[in-house]
């Protein structure tokens, strides 16, 4: 038997008894073929791959990250709690030294779920990896630095929303250009909030980008940025809908490409996101990914219908990807030289107004957010939100990890005032607290 370099914990949870609707692409069978492939390749029997049973995430763990309108139970079902719990377990297994790396191969996915939840967006209700990152900080302290590399074909807009003003998190998303695919965001100009400017890194790729382009981005942009930022943990939000056979996207990645990406990135924790080519892509990508995580030979993993020209990209496309790489890297290098007052304006608060569409549930949300511009901490924020589904406006006050005493005091005063304010159906208080 091949000797593996790494012990890999696998939290495989296909949720065989859950789907949004019977014909929905995010459905029971999504991971069935994957399980058969992993089983047939003997990976469940390999001594370096150990399977674990997921745990159920608590209200406390979910509320550390999310603000649910009107309440948590209205949106969060058992399936979401188990997907989030399984992701938390993946992190715990690594932290406790039980395994070297962990793969939360589970559904439903989470990277389109924002901080505020009125319903489901892009098949996501709660953000599994964001809940996990906040759990890690709860366990290990707020100084922890976590990098999330989102390789799903869709922009990881929910994760970006949650961490865009969070100096403890570096969020890198490579995805099909938002002008050609849901959710229509993730442009190079989206770079993060005043307290974490430059730590939101978007790499929009042209449709038809193949393995060559993706690996170029890894080599020229992602790895140098990680090398410089020196995170304590690297998380891969491993969407698999970049595959050439995926029915929802126009990208051209293959299982070999994914496996090479995994080897290069060497993530501590991998969390499945999208990927809807359940018979032609997921089984092969996941086998390659598991082998690469364990440090085993993956060179023989090939889709049965793969041909060399399937994933070949034109030289014009390669030149375009190279141009994007240069742009993103140049922006990263100059992030600290930017005049933040010019970007975010002067004054006490930075304001953000947004209309958010929940495609899965057909809900429109209107949101206004004010973030306190503070020299000593990322600043407290207040979010006013209402939606076509929950029309009564809600005021949510959220304080960041490592809040300064002055901001905490201000936030409390403001919360007390909003509680009295009859314009709002309720006032919600969110404050993450570290155990250590």
Partner 1 sequence: MQKQLGVTIGEILVLKADGGTMTLADSQDRPIETILSGPAASIMGVRALAECQEENFVIVDIGGTTTDLAVVVEGQVLFERSGATILGYKTLVPALLTRSIGLGGDSALHFCTEEQKVIIGPQRAGLPVCRGGARLTPTDAAVALGLATIGDKTRALAQWQRWAKELGLAWQELAKLVLEAFTRQLTEAVENLYGELENVPLYTISEVLNPPQIRPQAVVGLGAPAGVFVPRLAENLHLPYEIVPFSAGANAIGAGAAQPTIGVTLHADTELGTVTIPEMGYQGTLERPLFFTQEKARDLATTKTQEHAQAQGYDATAQVYVVEEEHFNMVRGFRTVGQTFTVRTQLRPQVRKIGGGQSNEQG
Please list the active-site residues: 112
> Closer to Zn ion at the Cβ: 201 or 296?
201
Q: Considering CB distances under 5 to 8 angstroms, the limit depending on partner class, which of Zn ion, partner 1, none binds residue 79?
A: partner 1
Q: Considering CB distances under 5 to 8 angstroms, the limit depending on partner class, which of partner 1, Zn ion, none binds residue 321?
A: none
Q: How far is the CB of 77 from partner 1 (least distance, A)?
A: 8
Backbone phi and psi for residue 393, each to the nearest 5 degrees, phi listed first: -65, 145
Q: Say whether residue 247 binds partner 1 (CB under 8 A).
A: yes
* Region near partner 1 per CB under 8 A, out of 24-32, 184-192, 235-243, 250-258: 24-32
In the DSSP assignment, the letter for residue 15 is -
Residues found in the chain = 436
402 neighbors 383 (Cβ within 8 angstroms): no
**C-alpha Rg value of the chain to the nearest Å:** 21
Q: Say whether residue 32 binds partner 1 (CB under 8 A).
A: yes
Q: Say whether residue 364 binds partner 1 (CB under 8 A).
A: no
Closest by Cα among 249, 363, 361 to 20:
361
In the DSSP assignment, the letter for residue 322 is H
Q: For residue 70, is the peptide bond before it cis, meaning its omega torsion is within 30 degrees of 0?
A: yes
Q: How far is the CB of 88 from partner 1 (least distance, A)?
A: 14
CA 125 to chain centre: 12
> Closer to partner 1 at the Cβ: 247 or 345?
247
Residues 6+ apart with CB under 8 A from 21: none
Q: Say whether residue 182 binds partner 1 (CB under 8 A).
A: no
Q: Say whether residue 262 binds partner 1 (CB under 8 A).
A: no
Instruction: Please report, as residue ranges, which positions from 69 to 98 form the binding site for partner 1 (by CB under 8 A).
Output: 78-79, 82
* Region near partner 1 per CB under 8 A, out of 6-14, 194-202, 346-354, 367-375: 6-14
Structure tokens at 278: 């359940």
Backbone phi and psi for residue 387, each to the nearest 5 degrees, phi listed first: -145, 170
> Closer to partner 1 at the Cβ: 108 or 231?
108
Strand 349-358 relative to strand 233-238, pairing: unpaired
Which of 40, 51, 59, 60: binder of partner 1 (CB under 8 A)? 51
CB atoms within 10 A of CB 123: 23
Q: Say whether residue 40 binds partner 1 (CB under 8 A).
A: no
Q: How far is the CB of 246 from partner 1 (least distance, A)?
A: 11
For 31-153, strand residue ranges (E) read: 49-51, 67-68, 101-106, 116-117, 146-150
In the complex, which residues of this chain contact Zn ion (CB under 5 A)? 152, 154, 239, 241, 274, 374, 376-377, 404, 407
Please tell me the count of residues contacting partner 1 according to CB under 8 A.
26
Could you give the maximum distance between any two Cα atoms of the chain, in Å? Answer: 68
Collapsing DSSP states into helix, strand and coil, what is residue 102?
strand
> Closer to partner 1 at the Cβ: 105 or 148?
105
Q: Interface residues with partner 1 (CB under 8 A)?
A: 12-18, 23, 25, 28-29, 32, 35, 45, 51-54, 56, 78-79, 82, 247, 276, 278-279
């Amino acid at each position: 038997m091949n000797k593996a370099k790494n012990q890999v914990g696998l939290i495989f949870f296909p949720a065989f008894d859950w789907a949004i609707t019977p014909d929905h692409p995010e459905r029971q069978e999504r991971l069935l073929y994957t399980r058969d492939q992993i089983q047939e390749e003997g990976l469940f029997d390999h001594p370096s791959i150990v399977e674990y049973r997921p745990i159920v995430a608590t209200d406390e763990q979910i509320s550390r990250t999310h603000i649910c309108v009107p309440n948590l139970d209205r949106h969060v079902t058992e399936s979401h709690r188990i997907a989030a719990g399984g992701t938390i377990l993946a992190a715990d297994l690594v932290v406790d030294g039980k395994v070297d790396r962990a793969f939360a191969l589970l559904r439903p996915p989470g990277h389109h779920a924002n901080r505020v939840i009125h319903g489901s967006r892009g098949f996501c209700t709660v953000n599994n990896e964001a809940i996990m990152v906040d759990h890690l900080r709860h366990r290990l302290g707020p100084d922890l630095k976590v990098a999330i590399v989102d390789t799903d074909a869709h922009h990881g807009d929910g994760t970006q929303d949650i961490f865009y003003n969070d100096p403890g998190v570096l969020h890198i998303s490579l995805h099909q250009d938002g002008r050609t695919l849901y959710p229509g965001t993730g442009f190079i100009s989206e770079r993060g909030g005043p307290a974490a400017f430059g730590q939101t890194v978007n790499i929009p790729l042209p449709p038809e980008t193949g393995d060559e382009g993706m690996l170029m981005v890894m080599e020229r942009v992602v790895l140098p940025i990680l090398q410089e930022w020196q995170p304590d943990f690297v998380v891969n939000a491993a969407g698999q809908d970049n595959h050439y056979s995926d029915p929802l996207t126009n990208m051209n990645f293959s299982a070999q490409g994914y496996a090479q990406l995994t080897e290069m990135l060497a993530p501590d924790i991998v969390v499945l996101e999208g990927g809807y080519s359940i018979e032609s892509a997921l089984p092969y990508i996941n086998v390659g990914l598991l082998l690469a995580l364990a440090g085993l030979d993956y060179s023989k993993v090939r889709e049965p219908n793969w041909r060399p020209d399937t994933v070949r990209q034109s030289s014009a496309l390669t030149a375009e990807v190279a141009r994007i790489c240069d742009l993103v890297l140049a922006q990263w290098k100059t992030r600290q030289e930017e005049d933040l007052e010019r970007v975010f304006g002067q004054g006490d608060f930075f304001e953000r107004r947004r209309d958010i569409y929940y495609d899965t549930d057909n809900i429109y949300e209107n949101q206004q957010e004010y973030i306190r511009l503070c020299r000593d901490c990322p600043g407290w924020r207040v979010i006013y939100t209402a939606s076509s589904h929950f029309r009564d406006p809600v005021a949510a006050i959220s304080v960041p990890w490592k809040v300064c005493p002055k901001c905490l005091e201000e936030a409390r005063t403001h919360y007390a005032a909003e509680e009295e304010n009859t314009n709002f159906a309720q006032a919600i208080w969110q404050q993450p607290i570290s155990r250590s």
